[in-house]
């Protein structure tokens, strides 16, 4: 009887240890995180719509129904990435996520003149760019992120149905390109 009790107590202690190990390993081995889902839907440096409007189930869930969103994956090891989207919409905001889906930087349309033009780069690339800033990057927002792989997400507000075509066009014409320097 005492042996049984001993075994159960040992089991419970083990359960605690397993709980902690599993919890810490879930992010490492998850195949359902945002990056993996996007990877299944499209290639690197390709803007992909996240909302259901583009047809099919939404790639990444939990997007506000009054919002459209688009995302592209990038790898800063290849070079810095430039994201642009032309046009005027009531509200847009941008988040940069790292490989595991954690938000590393965010900004919205108040930070600029209204046009979305942004460059994501590593601190080392930033030093290089600062030495001689090219003309066409003068107005861009520089996001310095100490990451390699990442996700760039644009969210845009759709106040009512009449805005749907405009906001769709804004996101569909968005570009996500490897910038030569």
> What does the binding site for other proteins look like in residue numbers (CB under 8 A)?
3-4, 6-8, 10-19, 21-24, 26-27, 30, 32-34, 36-37, 50, 60-62, 64-67, 71, 91, 93-95, 97-98, 100-108, 110-111, 151, 153, 155, 157, 159-160
Tell me whether residue 11 or residue 139 sits nearer to other proteins (CB atom). Answer: 11
Tell me whether residue 23 or residue 77 sits nearer to other proteins (CB atom). Answer: 23
Cα–Cα nearest to 168, from 51, 35, 8: 51
Helix or strand holding residue 35 (H, E): helix 34-41
Give the Cα separation of 33 and 175 in Å (integer): 24
Cα–Cα nearest to 137, from 149, 145, 148, 129: 129
Minimum distance of other proteins from residue 128's CB (angstroms) = 25
Tell me whether residue 46 or residue 79 sits nearer to other proteins (CB atom). Answer: 46
Tell me whether residue 13 or residue 124 sits nearer to other proteins (CB atom). Answer: 13
Report strand pairing: 141-144 vs 116-121: parallel
């Amino acid at each position: 009887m005492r042996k049984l009790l001993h075994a159960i107590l040992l089991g419970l202690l083990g359960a605690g240890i397993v709980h902690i190990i599993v919890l810490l390993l879930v992010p490492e081995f998850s195949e359902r995180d945002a990056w993996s889902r996007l990877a299944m839907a499209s290639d690197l440096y390709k803007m992909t719509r996240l909302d259901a409007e583009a047809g099919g189930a939404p790639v990444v869930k939990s997007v506000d129904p009054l919002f459209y969103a688009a995302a592209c994956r990038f790898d800063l090891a290849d070079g810095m990435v430039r994201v642009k989207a032309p046009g005027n919409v009531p509200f847009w905001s941008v988040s940069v996520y790292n490989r595991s889906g954690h938000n590393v930087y965010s900004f919205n349309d108040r930070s600029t003149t209204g046009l979305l033009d942004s460059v994501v780069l590593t601190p080392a690339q930033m030093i290089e760019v600062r030495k001689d800033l090219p003309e066409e990057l003068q107005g861009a927002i520089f996001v310095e992120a100490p990451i390699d792989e990442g996700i760039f997400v644009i969210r845009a507000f759709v106040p009512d149905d009449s805005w749907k075509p405009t906001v769709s066009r804004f996101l569909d014409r968005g570009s996500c390109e490897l910038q030569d320097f």
